[in-house]
Structure 1
Amino acid sequence: MMKHVQGKSHWSHRVYPAIVALALVGGLSSCSSARGGQTAGAAASEVKSLPGISKSTDVYSNSSYSRFTKKNATLVVVTVDPDHRSEDTEELVEFLIRVAWSVNDAKPNMELMVTVKSTVPIDALAAARAAGWTSAHSLNNERSTVFVGLSEAKKRLGDWPGKVPETDGLLGTVTTSP
Structure 2
Amino acid sequence: MTYNRVWALVSISLLVLLVATGCSASPTGGQSKEDALAQIQKVEGVESAFVDAGGSYNGFQRRTDVLISIWLAPGFKIASTHDLAEFLVRLAWSVNTEKPNTDLAFFLHGSEISDLESALTDAGWEFPSGEGSDFMSIPPAVVGAKLGRWPGPVPVTPDNMFVPDNTAPATPNPSAFDLAPRAALTVE
How would you bin the TM-score normalised by the shorter chain? 0.7 to 0.9
- Equivalence for 1:104: 96
- Computing the radius of gyration from Cα coordinates, the structure with the larger value is 2
Backbone CA RMSD of aligned residues: 1.6
Q: Deviations over 1:81-122 (max 9, x none)?
A: 121000101110110000000000011111211221124231
- Equivalence for 2:155: 165
The alignment status of 1:86 with 2:78, answered yes or no, reads yes
Residues 78 and 111 of structure 2 are in contact (CA less than 8 Å); yes or no, is this contact kept in structure 1?
no
Residues 118 and 132 of structure 2 are in contact (CA less than 8 Å); yes or no, is this contact kept in structure 1?
no
Choose the corresponding residue for 1:177, options 165, 176, 183. Answer: 165
Residues 116 and 122 of structure 1 are in contact (CA less than 8 Å); yes or no, is this contact kept in structure 2?
yes
Alpha-carbon distance in structure 2 between the residues aligned to 1:133 and 1:148: 10
Alpha-carbon distance in structure 2 between the residues aligned to 1:118 and 1:128: 20
Choose the corresponding residue for 1:40, options 22, 33, 38. Answer: 33
Choose the corresponding residue for 1:51, options 36, 44, 47. Answer: 44
Residues 102 and 163 of structure 1 are in contact (CA less than 8 Å); yes or no, is this contact kept in structure 2?
yes
Alpha-carbon distance in structure 1 between the residues aligned to 2:162 and 2:99: 30
- Equivalence for 1:151: 141
Alpha-carbon distance in structure 2 between the residues aligned to 1:90 and 1:136: 18
Please state whether the residue corresponding to 2:74 is helix, strand or coil. Answer: coil
Q: TM-score, normalised by structure 2?
A: 0.70
Shift of 1:142: 5.5
Shift of 1:39: 0.6
Off by >6 Å, runs of 4+ in structure 1: none
User: 1:176 corresponds to which letter in structure 2?
Assistant: P
Q: Deviations over 1:136-159 (max 9, x none)?
A: 522xx3621111122221121110
Choose the corresponding residue for 2:105, options 100, 113, 124. Answer: 113
